[in-house]
Amino acid sequence: MKKIIYTKSAPSPIGPYNQAILWTSGSQRTLYTSGQIAINPETGELDIEDLEKETHLVMKNLEEVLKAADMDFSSVVKTSIFLSDMNNFGTVNKIYGSYFNEEDAPARETVEVANLPKFVNVEISAIAIAIDG
């Protein structure tokens, strides 16, 4: 069964998509999040002046979407990181890593792209799985 996930604690979609889709089959719940960028959910404004602050806000927005589906970072099995400049990899990787346990961190790819929505520096999406019962 497909369920739309939405929380006011994360940025509202800026196009024809949802923050996340939760697919339930039996006792397994799989969450597919849309890419999160550094939009402050309280103001709707971008916060991209400082890469470290931007990356933390992206991760906090992702965390709020996970919470709305009754999950957390331990449920994440796969992430995708999109960077506007691969020279930012070290900074983003260090902050990203602080949200996961290294022993069971998710699979991921990190790619440099020509542009990102609203010309941000980083966008991150995730797939998370939870087994109920």
Question: Which residues are registered as beta bridge partners of 82?
Answer: 111, 123
Q: What region, left, alpha or beta, does residue 102 occupy, with left being phi > 0 and alpha being psi -120 to 50 degrees?
A: alpha
Asked if the model's pLDDT at residue 11 lies above 90, the reply is yes
* Predicted local confidence at residue 42, as pLDDT: 95
Give the count of domains, the chain: 1
pLDDT digits (tens, 9 = 90+) for 58-106: 999 999 999 999 999 999 999 999 999 999 999 999 999 999 999 999 9
pTM across the whole model: 0.97
* Predicted local confidence at residue 19, as pLDDT: 98
Q: Give which of 128, 85, 130 is closest to 108, Cα–Cα.
A: 128
Domain that holds residue 41: 2-131
CATH number of the domain that 62 lies in? 3.30.1330.40
| Chain mean pLDDT for the chain | 97
C-alpha–C-alpha distance, residues 85 and 132, integer Å: 39
pLDDT digits (tens, 9 = 90+) for 41-62: 999 999 999 999 999 999 999 9
3-state secondary structure of 32: strand
